[in-house]
Structure 1
Amino acid sequence: MLDRPVHRHHTGNRAVSQNSSPRLSFLVAAQIFGAALAAIPLAAIPVAQAQEQLTPGSFKAYAAEGVEPRLSDFSGLAVPRYASLRYDMVNGRSGPSPDYPVRWTYERAGLPVVVIRESNDWRKIRDPMGDEVWVNASQLAEQRTAITTHPGAIRQKPEAGASLAARFNPGSVVSLGECGTLWCQVSVQGQRGWIVREHLWGAEPLITTPGNR
């Protein structure tokens, strides 16, 4: 899942270079890290690494102010809710129809998003950069994923002093398991471990009280 570069391209009347602006693209490239202890041989634990443009400040927290989730009349699922991109290429449009122009093209299966609105066959999503676009419902999966917002470590247990499984930089996409108050269980290509919850976009509750957004 983390074995090739990923991009998010802004689209319009002309193509935009992926390196033209920190707000216009991001790239996650696969890297191999071993355990950080010198006495332990390197282990092939793939962890994604973000390009320099992708900083923790780039990620936009999402919480619906004082709004309880409601069940959609279209899907029967809660809105807002987390989802993830199903395919390596997904077009995000300015409206709920293929007649609307493409605003962003995402090239990353598994990227976490928030579904914030629905129509019959379309879903309005918010991405980790804070942008909102419409995608066809078929392009989304209900599988929970998360993306790291800070550099840190994957631990073998949900404890600060637990053995280190791998290190990561901002922009690492992981499959999300159970979350407690402080830690979330994650997996990367079959390697399981724990990450501090506040270091993940896609693990925080979607509901908050007014003024805490």
Structure 2
Amino acid sequence: MIAVALVLTLTGAALAQEEEDDSPPPSDLDVSLAIAAQNGRGPVTNLPLPRYVSLKGSEGNARRGPSLSHRIDWVFKHAGMPLRITAEFGHWRRVEDRDGAGGWVHYAMLSGVRTVIVEEDMTQLHARGDEKSAVVALAETGAIAKLGDCTLDWCEISAGDADGWVPKTKIWGVDPKEIRD
């Protein structure tokens, strides 16, 4: 009799606790995003979050959630477009562009090749990471360029035949304190 009473008491306590908290249990996605937020690393790749990548093809669908059954909210249409990964879940990465638009993209649509977008019209590309060095080219707003080395304040970029250094403040696709060799 004592064993039965103990089981009933424990079961009753569990039921009482469930009645007090009527919120749904967290989904796998919720748990994955919470883990990533806590340690700053993706739960799938263990790479830093956020981080930058680029669009592999000339078109990529950004979905509302991490599966093909989710609705397409946005379509990226520029090959090499820099994107920032903010979360990961299975084979899916949540990305955003420089305007904050985005969604969940399948990882196969992304490349580790780093690119940037020029933010200011007629940005001067310099021969060295120095404002006083010779101007070797000009870049228009929205130009996509491959990212090279970066110091604390400058990055080397290249697009077509143009290659030069620009202040980090004139491009999107690199963190302000990021240094690349």
TM-score by length of 2: 0.72
Match of 1:153, SS state, is strand
Distance apart, 1:200 and its partner CA: 0.7
Give 1:138's aligned residue. Answer: 108
Conserved 8 A contact 2:152-2:176: no
Give 1:102's aligned residue. Answer: 72
Alignment of 1:32-181 (within 5 A): 70-151=40-121, 152-181=123-152
- Structure 1 counterpart of 2:65, which letter? G
Conserved 8 A contact 2:74-2:102: no
Structure 1 stretches of 4+ moved >4 Å? none
Conserved 8 A contact 2:155-2:166: yes
The structure whose Rg is larger is 2
Give 2:159's aligned residue. Answer: 188
For residues 162 and 118 of structure 1, what CA distance do their matches in structure 2 show?
A: 41
Cα deviation code 1:33-73 (max 9, x no counterpart): xxxxxxxxxxxxxxxxxxxxxxxxxxxxxxxxxx7863323
* Superposed CA RMSD: 2.0
Distance apart, 1:76 and its partner CA: 2.7
Unaligned runs of 5+ in 2: 1-36
Conserved 8 A contact 2:83-2:98: yes
Bigger proportion of residues as strand: 1
Give 1:202's aligned residue. Answer: 173
Could you say if the C-alpha distance between residues 70 and 206 of structure 1 is closer, same or farther in structure 2, counting changes exceeding 3 Å?
farther
Match of 1:108, SS state, is coil
Distance apart, 1:197 and its partner CA: 1.0
TM-score by length of 1: 0.61
Match of 1:198, SS state, is helix
For residues 154 and 206 of structure 1, what CA distance do their matches in structure 2 show?
A: 20
Percent identity over paired residues:
28
Match of 2:108, SS state, is helix
Distance apart, 1:206 and its partner CA: 7.9
Match of 1:177, SS state, is strand
- Structure 2 counterpart of 1:113, which letter? L
Match of 1:138, SS state, is helix
